[in-house]
Structure 1
Amino acid sequence: MTDQTAPAVTITSFGYGHQPGGIAPAAHITLDLRVHFRDPHVDPAMRELTGRDQAVTTAVLSTPGIPALIAATVAAARAFLGGPSAGPLHIAAGCIGGRHRSYVVASALGTLLADLDPHVVHLHADRPVIRRPAAQS
């Protein structure tokens, strides 16, 4: 990727809790992982970790539905890029804090779309953990 050429695919992980107004970044495909997929944050042993840690990656990728969602998103990305007016594609994956679910999903998408040389950005992985009641995922 040169400075003058935009990547074909940009994949962004983010935390809704760190976004101004709680609004997702602009994207062609937005994955809101907050409600349907259990948050590793509820396990105190994983709370301070991020998707860089194998325990978090394993927990997220073994969550029912996540592998199918990742595969479907890869297929959707390839469909967007195969369209007659194809151009740069932006995929955004968000969870509450941007440290666990969204990080792992964005990283997995980047790996599976590696042939497209995607630009993967983790907006909030290094931001402080958002404190919330344990019952909230």
Structure 2
Amino acid sequence: MAAVEIVSFGYLHDAPPTAHLTIDLREHFRDPHVSPELRYMTAHDEPVRAAVLGTPGITDLVAATAGAVTAFASGPSAETVRVADGCAGGRHRAPTFAFALAELLRADGHQVTVTHRDLHRPVVHR
């Protein structure tokens, strides 16, 4: 199978990284930032992952993105497939999505690396 690089990021910090697929999670999926009890947590915390993955449609999008990665990987190029997924601050939705996508792709035999560009950054106050 293919090598896959996944980068989660926050649109409020910098431009999206270059990728074959860029997934924008800002408008259609619940933002844990709006919940005071989740705001200062990250995707490393179970309550954040549960809130994001419990949002209707998110697991379907993870599966669809995995299918798109597999389609890219089946092409004649042996290059690494790059996926960038972003949310507002890069601490909740995007890294949770990246973790879930990586898990699914690894189960399908892909070699996956995950980088969280903005997970370490402070909470963006909006």
**Does 1:62 pair with 2:54?**
yes
Query: Which runs of at least 4 in structure 1 moved beyond 2 Å after TM superposition?
Result: none
Equivalent residue, structure 2, for 1:36:
28
Please tell me whether the aligned partners of residues 13 and 123 of structure 1 are also in contact (alpha carbons under 8 angstroms).
yes
Q: Alignment partner for residue 81 of structure 2, among 86, 89, 100?
A: 89
Structure 2 CA distance for aligned equivalents of residues 50 and 122 of structure 1: 11
Structure 2 CA distance for aligned equivalents of residues 24 and 123 of structure 1: 10
Structure 2 CA distance for aligned equivalents of residues 48 and 118 of structure 1: 28
Structure 2 CA distance for aligned equivalents of residues 63 and 86 of structure 1: 35
**Is the partner of 2:39 in helix, strand or coil?**
coil
User: Which amino acid is the alignment partner of residue 93 of structure 2?
Assistant: R
**Is the partner of 2:36 in helix, strand or coil?**
coil
Could you tell me which runs of 5 or more consecutive residues in structure 2 were left unpaired when the two chains were aligned. none
Equivalent residue, structure 2, for 1:17:
12
Please tell me whether the aligned partners of residues 80 and 86 of structure 1 are also in contact (alpha carbons under 8 angstroms).
no
Q: CA-to-partner distance for each residue in 1:21-57, whole Å, 9 max, x for gaps?
A: xx21110000000111120100000000000000000
Q: TM-score, normalised by structure 2?
A: 0.94
Equivalent residue, structure 1, for 2:3:
8
Structure 2 CA distance for aligned equivalents of residues 54 and 100 of structure 1: 11
How far is 1:61 from its partner?
Answer: 0.5
How far is 1:84 from its partner?
Answer: 2.1
Structure 2 CA distance for aligned equivalents of residues 95 and 60 of structure 1: 11
Percent identical across equivalent pairs?
52
Larger radius of gyration: 1
How far is 1:86 from its partner?
Answer: 4.1
Could you tell me which runs of 5 or more consecutive residues in structure 1 were left unpaired when the two chains were aligned. 1-6, 133-137
Equivalent residue, structure 1, for 2:41:
49
Q: CA RMSD in A?
A: 1.1
Aligned residues: 123
